[in-house]
Amino acid sequence: MNSFQNEEQRQGFYKTVRKMLGSIVAFSLIVGVIYLFGGFHKTKQQDIRCNAEKVVQYQGKQYLWDRDRRFGGGKLQSTDFAHSHQHSVKLDASNKFGLSYKIPAADGDEDLWISVWRYNPEGKQVGRLACKSGQYYEESGEVKERQDSGWEKLFIRAYIPLGSKNQPIDIFCIHEGEDPIYFDDLFIDFRREDKSK
């Protein structure tokens, strides 16, 4: 059944539909370009997490594995204490560094919000969180949140400078003191400064 009364009416209808489709495609492309280059997205990378639950073998070494990413410290996985689930990473005088992650190449303008949970039931500051890229280095044992269970949340806000462009970014936990210390639930939140301000 033809709803057009003549060929001219049919041609006019199809011309209108083509214009509408062209406008929709053009609008979609413009929105996509603005999204990619205009700063409406939060980050070029996904946030990174590790809950120390899974260990994998890779090139003869043990790594923690979470959300398709490898983290250092697989051989240090422990069931002694855990913030979430059943495992954490145990650091001591023989193993001073662990629950680490390497970002292969910095852009040189990253704004990273990094946190990790440290088991510290006696209130001693015996472990720290650190971030290094090129000449940039930041570490902290500052507690942002404390739970009755003895777990404390450490936090660093790391501004990776332009001078670190193409340098790796290393994020890791550090043991201090005599007693073992446990770390769990590393979280790396990629942010960008609003450069339009």
CATH of the domain at 69: 2.60.120.260
Same domain, 55 and 13: no
**Greater pLDDT, 182 or 9:** 182
Regarding pTM above 0.85, the answer is no
In whole angstroms, how far apart are CA 23 and each of 10, 15, 16, 26, 32? Answer: 20, 12, 11, 5, 14
Q: Is 156 helix (H, G, I), strand (E, B) or coil?
A: strand
Dump pLDDT digits (tens) for 76-119: 999 999 999 999 999 999 999 999 999 998 888 889 999 999 99
pLDDT (0 to 100) of residue 35:
46
Q: Are 89 and 159 in contact (CB under 8 A)?
A: no
Q: Taking the mean position of all CA atoms in its chain, how far away is CA 180?
A: 27
The torsion of the CA quartet 39, 40, 43, 44, rounded to 10 degrees, works out to -70
**64 found inside a domain:** yes
Task: Write out the residue range of the structural domain in which residue 28 sits.
Answer: 1-41
Same domain, 115 and 28: no
pLDDT (0 to 100) of residue 2:
58
DSSP string for 49-112: EE-S-EEEEETTEEEEEETTEEEE-GGGEESS--SSTT-EEEE-SS--EEEEEEES---S--EE
Residues, the chain, total?
197
Find the range with the poorest average confidence among 52-56, 160-164, 183-187.
160-164
**196 found inside a domain:** no
Please report the sign of the dihedral spanned by the C-alpha atoms of residue 191, residue 193, residue 194, residue 196: negative
Dump pLDDT digits (tens) for 15-38: 887 888 777 776 766 655 444 444
**94 found inside a domain:** yes
In our burial notation (b when 16+ CB lie closer than 10 A, e otherwise), range 172-189 reads bbbbeeeebbbbbbbbbb
**197 found inside a domain:** no
The number of distinct structural domains making up the chain is 2
Same domain, 67 and 18: no
